[in-house]
Amino acid sequence: MSESIAQQPIRDDALSVNDQLMQQLPVSLAQVAKLLAERGVPIFVDAEGGSVLATLIEGEILFMVNENMDTISFRGLWNRVFSSARYRNAADTCNEWNAYGTWARGYASEPSVDENRAVRMFCSGQIMNDDRDDVMGMRIDDVLNVSQIFFSWLGEQYPDPIRIPDAPYGRKA
């Protein structure tokens, strides 16, 4: 008599690439990936199992677990860039965001002419790891919300000339 499919062990080569990558993640990042997927957020898993990338309309959020496995760091990167000449404007805008006292801090990356790197703006913070899906789900929701608010706020400060052709170039007055 043949074994039923449910009783047969699953071979590693029968798993999808995504399932294989999920098995390599630390438990806390696998939980983050699962919770993001439940919320309909497209994710990408690092092939080495070190991070999970969530993609949003106005940016992306990278989740990484710290060495002690008790906190998960996140870094939300806005999808627009500035020339190196506008670094001071970007840094001032991040300082203005940080003055509001939100737990996700805003930063502007240093430009590099040698590396042809533009100024990027991002928010960064940490959340405590928790085994309970409901608690961790609320923390993931907080990260998604504060990152989206940061990205939207940046969009209000610097209207996109492609999306809003009549908007003034640069920071609105």
Question: Which letter, b or e, does each residue of 18-53 get, where b requires 16 or more Cβ atoms within 10 Å of its Cβ?
Answer: eeebbeebeebbbbbbbbbeeeeeebebbeebebbb
Q: Assign 3-class secondary structure to 51-116.
A: EEEEECCCEEEEEEECCCCCEEEEEEEEEEEECHHHHHHHHHHHHHHHCCCCCCEEEECCCECCCC
Across the chain, which distance is largest between two alpha carbons, in Å? Answer: 78
- Global confidence as pTM: 0.75
Per-residue pLDDT of the chain (173 residues; tens, 9 = 90+): 333 333 334 445 555 556 666 666 777 888 888 899 899 999 888 777 778 888 888 889 998 887 777 788 899 999 888 877 888 888 999 999 999 877 889 998 887 767 666 788 888 988 888 888 899 899 999 999 999 999 888 888 887 766 655 555 555 54
- The domains located in the chain, with CATH, are 9-157 (3.30.1460.10)
Q: How many CB atoms are located within 10 Å of the residue 117 CB?
A: 13
d(CA 72, CA 65): 4
Looking at residue 8, its pLDDT comes to 38
Looking at residue 47, its pLDDT comes to 74
Looking at residue 14, its pLDDT comes to 59
Q: How many CB atoms are located within 10 Å of the residue 94 CB?
A: 19
